[in-house]
Amino acid sequence: MGVNMNILAVIPARSGSKSVPHKNIRDLAGKPMLAYSIEHAQHSKYINRVILSTDSIEYAQIGERYGAEIPFLRPDYLATDDSLDIDVFKHCLNHLKDKEKYIPEIVVHLRPTYPIRDVKDIDNMIEMLIRNKEADSVRSLAPAKEIAYKMWHMDEQGYLTPILHDIPEAYNMPRQKLPIIYYQNACIDVVRGNTILSEQSMSGTKIMGYEMAKNYDIDTESEFKNAELYLSMIKGGKQFVFDIDGVIAKLQHNNNYSIAEPNQKVIEIINKLYNYGNRIVLLTARGYVTGINWEKITMEQLDKWGVHYHELHFGKPNADFYVDDKMIDLNSLIQIF
């Protein structure tokens, strides 16, 4: 798509943070966190200007080091816990308009608390706004885990009123029968500059949605550690050892491995790690107790299931529990990916 437009990315990064102190510049896998959002904007096919809006000289210097422009320092009254996005962005766009006569047609809002993004999502959302002339903005969404149709208001006497009314007695219906509900995950917002300056709004009234499968917002220490773990994995160069049964393959009664079924979600993650340049080692206790040779069947299964790996080892001791100081919980790995 050929585009001749002023498309500006704004990364708002104030210096105050109570949940994770100075999280916007905290080192994350070798870089300050805000650097990732700057790089995401730089790698976009359409964004042609990147500005960091901050109240901190230190943050500004870091932003400049990674290629962002710092045409101003944000005033203190726009860097509080209660500061609104619209006021921050109006300040930025009015400054550019007054000082440079620069007015962007499209503004991309990239919050620095999202160090993990797919740049294709940014470009796809920009393209959506360009194609849909009537839309004021595009917001990134994720499917809500909680069902709004089963949520309530409660009055002072303890009586309940459903939040949503469009489906009669939706709160008594199985969740599978109810519409999918989305929440705005705040990863990427794409909005017309005119919507911000003229309509005094960060979204306007005609808002389009762009669904994302994963959400990597960082607001807690645990979320920070998960992001750090993910970024270290996708860099490659690590060695991962996976058990076969109970991880790659579903457990079978009486250890009849010949009828084992694959765990496709785990296999997908293993293949991603393999493609990122990590070394994959598979380990199994098949035949350790019984003496049965399962090597041929196991290799045929791995090939059939499409598992990418470098080494396969037999002879792992059978046990009820395994303890390892480098162990990653399987559910945590699935959540990260």
Q: Same structural domain for residues 135 and 278?
A: no
C-alpha span between 48 and 105 (Å, rounded): 12
CB 204 within 8 A of CB 137: yes
Q: Same structural domain for residues 122 and 165?
A: no
85 lies in some domain: yes
How many domains are contained in the chain? 3
Paired tokens of 3: 């585009």
pLDDT given at position 2: 65
pLDDT in tens, 169-227: 999 999 999 999 999 999 999 999 999 999 999 999 999 999 997 778 888 888 888 88
Torsion of CA 132, 138, 142, 148, to 10 degrees: -90
Q: Same structural domain for residues 117 and 166?
A: no
CATH number for 74 = 3.90.550.10
Selection from 84, 66, 61, 67 nearest residue 12 by Cα: 84
Q: Same structural domain for residues 16 and 138?
A: yes
pLDDT given at position 19: 65
pLDDT given at position 217: 84
pLDDT given at position 172: 95
Write down which residue in 159, 193, 219 finishes a domain. 219
Q: Over 70: is that where the pLDDT of 47 sits? A: yes
133 lies in some domain: yes
Q: Same structural domain for residues 196 and 274?
A: no
How would residue 245 be classed by pLDDT, with cut points 50, 70 and 90? very high
160 lies in some domain: yes
Q: Same structural domain for residues 308 and 256?
A: yes
Q: Same structural domain for residues 89 and 202?
A: yes
pLDDT in tens, 94-151: 999 999 999 999 999 999 999 999 999 999 999 999 999 999 999 999 998 899 999 9
Q: Which of 32-36, 227-231, 266-270 has the lowest mean pLDDT?
A: 227-231
pLDDT given at position 180: 92
231 lies in some domain: no
Paired tokens of 66: 């990674």
1 lies in some domain: no
Q: Give counts: helices (H), strands (E), the chain.
A: 9, 13
pLDDT in tens, 50-68: 999 999 999 999 999 999 9
pLDDT given at position 8: 98
- In a 13 Å sphere around the CA of 161, the CA atoms on its Cβ side amount to 6
Q: Same structural domain for residues 249 and 202?
A: no
Q: Same structural domain for residues 202 and 320?
A: no
266 lies in some domain: yes
How would residue 317 be classed by pLDDT, with cut points 50, 70 and 90? confident
Q: Which residue has the higher pLDDT, 167 or 319?
A: 167
Instruction: Tell me the average pLDDT across 309-328.
Output: 80
CATH number for 304 = 3.40.50.1000
Q: Over 80: is that where the pLDDT of 16 sits? A: no
Q: Same structural domain for residues 273 and 160?
A: no
Write down which residue in 157, 190, 219 finishes a domain. 219
110 lies in some domain: yes
Residue type (1 letter), 316: K
The domain of 170 spans 145-179
Q: Same structural domain for residues 58 and 134?
A: yes
C-alpha span between 110 and 197 (Å, rounded): 18
pLDDT in tens, 252-300: 877 789 999 999 999 999 999 999 999 999 999 898 888 889 999 999 9
Q: Same structural domain for residues 129 and 150?
A: no
Instruction: Tell me the average pLDDT across 224-247.
Output: 91
How would residue 18 be classed by pLDDT, with cut points 50, 70 and 90? low
Selection from 277, 285, 292 nearest residue 314 by Cα: 285
pLDDT given at position 54: 96
Q: Which residue has the higher pLDDT, 131 or 251?
A: 131
Scanning the chain, the segments in alpha helix (DSSP H) are 33-42, 57-65, 85-100, 119-131, 193-197, 221-234, 264-275, 295-305, 330-336
